Amino acid sequence: MCPDLSYPVLILSTTILAIESSCDETSAAICTDGKILSNIIASQKIHEQYGGVVPELASRAHIQHIVPVVDQALSNAGLTLSSVGAIAFTHSPGLIGSLLVGSQFAKSIALALDIPLIAVHHMQAHVLANLIDDPKPEFPFLCLTVSGGHTQIVLCESPMKMQVIGETIDDAAGEAFDKSAKLLGLPYPGGPLVDKYARLGNPEKYPFPEPRVPGLDFSFSGLKTSILYFLQEHAKNQPQFIEHNLPDICASIQHRIVSILLNKLIKASIRTGIRDVCIAGGVSANSGLRQAMLETGKNHHWNTFIPAFEYCTDNAAMVAISGYYKFQAGAFAPLSISASARAEW
Ligand code: KG4
Ligand code: ZN
């Protein structure tokens, strides 16, 4: 495999403070020379009662959490703000109000300490979560990035050179989990609950259809509709159908979402000839996907990489490791940079 020469071989030493605030987790991490020293995540429980993230409430909660979360990250790393040599933050994509809290905080610290500012793309950071722990994938690698808002197959040539080679044409995989959970009467976010019940059920019990989408793209909206009709049909004769069959229904839904994801990942590996294959994003915390990924990797002779749980859902450690590579490349952002809800790759 060719060595990746897009960032310098000379390693510059520094401590990076990283901030993640793109959605409903406020997170701060400390990274020295590519090693994560702390990663603090404050989740916002307030959204549960509304059945989804309320952007205005998310922004306000970030304002409340950001200082204590940063203090805790510094203290867990045994450092003070004066030892921080650069600050990285999630610049895009995400909820604009949430992003603005993190970006303004990061810019203020950069200005006050006169240190470099590093802007990080949230979805690229999910991919680079695979570079936090050893063993690490070799470039070029493939990453299936599955979160609440995105489902992508990314071809990663270097820490700063990635391209999306397949993505969802409608719902994201996380949405498929959360919307299915809602149909089952489970609270938001339903993905982890579907996972929990699925462990007790039979994944072959209800064979939901696999959509036919050309190429490396995904579609989940048809699955959601078929689950809705399936539940309505059964409820006609058996009003308590869901209560009596919850584990089997969850296992069958999860089984289908996972098979849709992995069939495309297999296709991408065959098409590109790349065998270092990773997963990332909140849905990569799913036990069924993690297990199936290991089995698929074995069958297809992949080198398979799965981030630790704390680096799957939104976290600042992935922003810190992205910041580390950008720091090495001298890829700094101006203080005039503005956060962006949507982002180009
Ligand atoms: O990456 P993430 O934390 O935030 C975004 O960037 O969107 O992903 C959140 C998504 C939610 O849809 C959530 O339900 C899903 O990840 N998720 C899971 C599990 N843990 C989180 N889905 C299935 N099984 C899980 N264990
Ligand atoms: Zn995310």
Residue 180, domain member (yes or no)? yes
- 151, containing H or E segment: strand 151-158
**313 ligand 1 Cβ < 6 A:** yes
Reading phi first (left if > 0) and then psi (alpha if -120 to 50, else beta), residue 301 is in left
Q: Is the peptide bond before 187 cis (omega within 30 degrees of 0)?
A: no
Number of domains in the chain: 2
Q: Is the shortest distance between the CB of 282 and ligand 1 below 6 Å?
A: yes
On whether residue 104 sits in a domain, the answer given is yes
Same domain, yes or no: 245 and 111:
no
Query: What's the DSSP call for residue 138?
Result: P
**Which of ligand 1's atoms lies nearest the C-alpha of 150?**
7
pTM of the model: 0.94
Same domain, 86 and 183: no
CATH of residue 45's domain is 3.30.420.40
Written as six digits, the tokens of 209 are: 């259809």
The reply to whether 172 and 28 lie within a common domain is no
User: Ligand 1 centroid vs 324 CA: distance in angstroms?
Assistant: 25
Does the beta carbon of 171 sit less than 6 angstroms from any atom of ligand 1?
A: no
> Closest by alpha carbon to 257, among 191, 310, 165, 193?
191
148 with 111, same domain?
no
> Which ligand lies nearest the alpha carbon of 283?
1
Q: Minimal CA–CA distance to 151: which of 24, 37, 264, 15?
A: 264
For residue 1, being part of any structural domain is answered with no
With respect to residue 215, please indicate whether it lies within any of the assigned structural domains. yes
210 and 108 co-located in one domain? no
Say yes or no: CB of residue 93 within 6 Å of ligand 1.
no
**Please, are residues 213 and 167 in contact by the beta-carbon 8 Å criterion?**
no
**Does residue 4 have a pLDDT over 80?**
no
Q: Same domain, yes or no, for 149 and 282?
A: yes
Which ligand sits nearest to residue 148's alpha carbon?
Answer: 1
Residues 6+ apart with CB under 8 A from 325: 7, 128, 131, 159, 160
From ligand 1's centre to the CA of 282, what distance in Å?
A: 3
Whether residues 203 and 287 fall in one domain: yes
| Alpha-carbon span 190 to 210, nearest angstrom | 21
Residue 2 is assigned to a structural domain of this protein: no
Which atom of ligand 1 sits closest to the CA of residue 196? 26
Beta-carbon contacts of 12 under 8 Å, excluding residues fewer than 6 positions away, are: 327, 328
Q: Is residue 123 located within the same domain as residue 171?
A: no
* pLDDT, tens only, 176-220: 999 999 999 999 889 999 999 999 999 999 999 999 999 999 999
SS3 333: strand
In a domain, 198, yes or no: yes
Does the C-beta of 159 come closer than 6 Å to ligand 1?
no
123-142 pLDDT, tens per residue?
999 999 999 999 999 999 99
Looking at the structure, tell me whether residues 235 and 254 fall in a common domain: yes
Residue 25 sits in which domain range?
Answer: 15-128+312-329
Residues 156 and 259 both lie in one domain: yes
User: Has residue 3 been placed in a domain?
Assistant: no
**61 with 184, same domain?**
no
pLDDT digits (tens, 9 = 90+) for 208-266: 999 999 999 999 999 999 999 999 999 999 999 999 999 999 999 999 999 999 999 99
Clarify whether residues 152 and 296 are in a common domain: yes
CA of 85 to the centre of ligand 2 (A): 25
**What is the Cα–Cα distance from 276 to 141, expressed in whole angstroms?**
5
Asked whether the beta carbons of 207 and 255 are under 8 A apart, the reply is no
338 in a structural domain:
no
Ligand 1: which of 313, 314, 318 to mutate, most ligand atoms within 8 Å of CB? 313
